[in-house]
Amino acid sequence: MTAMIFKLRGEPGQRLDLSVLTPQQLNGLSETDLAALTVGAGKAPPTLGDIFGITMGDPADIRIVGGGARLDGIGAGLTRGRIVVEGDAGAYAARGMTGGDLHIAGSAGPFAGSGMAGGLMHIGADAGDWLGAPGTGEMTGMRGGTIVVAGRVGDHAGDRMRRGLIAVGGNAGDFPASRMIAGTLAIFGDCGRLPGYMMRRGTILVGGHSTAWTPTFGESGVVELTMLRLILRELKAWLPDAGLAAFEGPVQRYAGDLAALGKGEIIQPAA
Amino acid sequence: MSDLTPKTGLWDRLTGRSDVSAGAMAGSEPAQDAYAQHNGVRVDETFAEAFPMSATAVIITAPTIEWARIAAISMTGFATSVIGCGCEAGIDRELPPEETPDGRPGVRVLVFAMSPADLEKHTINRVGQCVLTCAGTACYSGLTADTRIKLGTNLRYFGDGHQSSKVVAGRRYWRIPVMEGEFLCESHAGMTGEAVGGGNLLILGRTARETLAATEAAVHAMREVPDTILPFPGGMVRSGSKVGSKYAFMIASSNEAYCPTLRAISNSSLDPGVNSVLEIVIDGLSYDAVAESMRVGLATLIEVGARGGVVAVSAGNYGGKLGPHHFHLHELMS
């Protein structure tokens, strides 16, 4: 069965909530029902049919042709199946996702993977601030699954992350893995200020340098960590040119944040 | 003692009695007209009787295959029979880096026991004493199954609170700090209750030297069969046993019917030309794996033939009343 295709008719006039575009919500709907689904706000909220040209197909294989920063909530709550975005995504992509695959060929806005608990999100370009972070008022950020970003990410990537893996092929902004509870944030480029600020547990890989290392981390030796091999093997297919091999040999380990629980770590390739 | 002896506890379970003074194995007495000659080797029309076991597999990796081997050999030492060792364990095969979870050379080890609880206990003990302690190693589940036993999730306490876990691709691993650096161990290992223990071949030879050489050849070929181990030293056992003993405290004792030095004073099962007997015991993760191993071994022994000193090949059983798995030698050749 071919994919169900949503072709963007043009730049939407307002921010859209596309969290309805998941297999579990589209399954069994007719084309008419699909087209009538509301995806915006206001007195005359736009419907899917207003925004997209729809080609019926397998609801477990969704393809969004065209994209933009106003397409919010793509893949939010996804539990199974596959969504491919041939363009950019707005805010909250894969928010609360628990399974399935979301592939965004372009960039994603802020709060991508927020509260994500399972599945895979792959972003072909950049991601905004608060990648994998908690939503407003929530205690934990990402709780499972994998996020791979080929390009750069904004500030606070992995904030209050609890479990799972975020891999960034390029650079990261300030405060990566701030308040991290556990999990892994791998940055194969440089990062901004204070990586691991107030982290309790978890792992941060930094392939390059930080503009300001967090001072409350303690030097913990040059070691070989077999665990890194498992992570790198997972990422090899997604980030073939990110310099993963630098972590296969001895690495420099720093333990912290000693201002918090101090059971986390920052790992860099050994000099 | 050989694995042909009913296991402690197994005997009670299968027979409903604790009296182990029953006689010798029935498979040693094939009808004289039931013999078949193959390359001069008599293959008895009998069968090996085997038993269900619980089993797991772990993969040990290390910076070099030598260190993975060291850990695996250490872990599988003193694991020839559940009677005296609690479990039976052996090396299934060596794995190239591309077949291991962490991309380092590795060894796959199989462990067999009479119950899931025994399996878990002995596997954790052996990994804890022989792999955790071995330089450079890591340990992973080597079997994908719905049922699992604990592994790293118990060993982690060695970290005394400094251990940490990492979930990668849905599997949990424990990182245990050690003086060398860090020991990585998967939290659980897959377990099967469909394993089969006690497949066997008896090699009756002309001389001890020829019997050893022929059995070595069979062992060499059988070790290529995946999902099986030959738990005894060098893959073979020279001290096949019978059930019971003249001594009340022994549940099994030397099987005089197969001892060439007792030929004149016992009810011997040995033909005049047989002067040495060796046995190969096979444990496998499935019935098919054990059958394939026995088939390969039997074919090799026939290939060695009478010219190589093999007089006959037989198998040990208990009359078919105890073990549900019967491996008929003639069916294995067909």
DSSP, residue by residue, B142-169: ----SSEEESHHHHGGGGTT--EEEEET
With a pLDDT cut of 90, the percent of chain B lying above it is 82
Do B15 and B294 contact (CB within 8 A), yes or no?
no
Q: Using the beta-carbon criterion (under 8 Å), do A227 and B175 form an inter-chain contact?
A: yes
Is residue A92 a contact partner of residue A73, using CB atoms and an 8 Å limit?
yes
Residue A220 · residue A255 · CB < 8 Å: yes
How far is it between the farthest Cα atoms of chain B? 69
pLDDT for residue B213 is more than 90: yes
Give the minimum alpha-carbon distance from B186 to chain A in angstroms, rounded to a whole number.
10
Q: How many CB pairs under 8 A join A and B?
A: 45
Those residues with Cβ within 8 angstroms of residue B78's Cβ, 6 or more apart along the chain or in another chain? B85
pLDDT the model gives residue B20:
33
The percentage of residues in chain B with a pLDDT greater than 70, rounded to a whole number, is 89
Q: What is the pLDDT of residues B278-317, one digit of tens each?
A: 999 999 999 999 999 999 999 999 999 999 999 999 999 8
Are B20 and B6 in contact by the 8 Å Cβ rule? The answer is yes
Confidence at residue A224, expressed as pLDDT on a 0 to 100 scale: 93
Closest by CA to B188, choosing from B31, B56, B80, B67, is B56
Rounded to whole angstroms, how far apart are CA atoms B196 and B199?
7
Across the interface, whether the CB atoms of B61 and A226 are under 8 A apart is answered yes
Q: Are B105 and B96 in contact (CB under 8 A)?
A: yes
- Asked if B143 and B57 count as a contact pair (C-beta separation under 8 A), the reply is yes
Chain Cα centroid distance, residue B179: 34
**CA distance, residue B127 to nearest chain A CA (Å):** 17
pLDDT (average), residues A152-169: 97
* pLDDT of res. A179: 97
Residue A32 has pLDDT above 70, yes or no: yes
Measured between beta carbons, which residues in chain A are less than 8 angstroms from residue B103? 229, 233
Q: Poorest-confidence range of A241-245, B164-168, B260-264?
A: A241-245
- B191 strand-pairing partners: B56
User: What is the largest distance, in Å, between two alpha-carbon atoms of chain A?
Assistant: 63
B156 at the A interface (CB within 8 A)? no
Q: Quick one: average pLDDT of A159-188? A: 97
Q: What is the pLDDT confidence band of residue B35, given thresholds at 50, 70 and 90?
A: low
Cβ-contact B299, B261 below 8 angstroms: no
Q: Which of B102, B167, B181 sits opposite A229 (nearest CB)?
A: B102
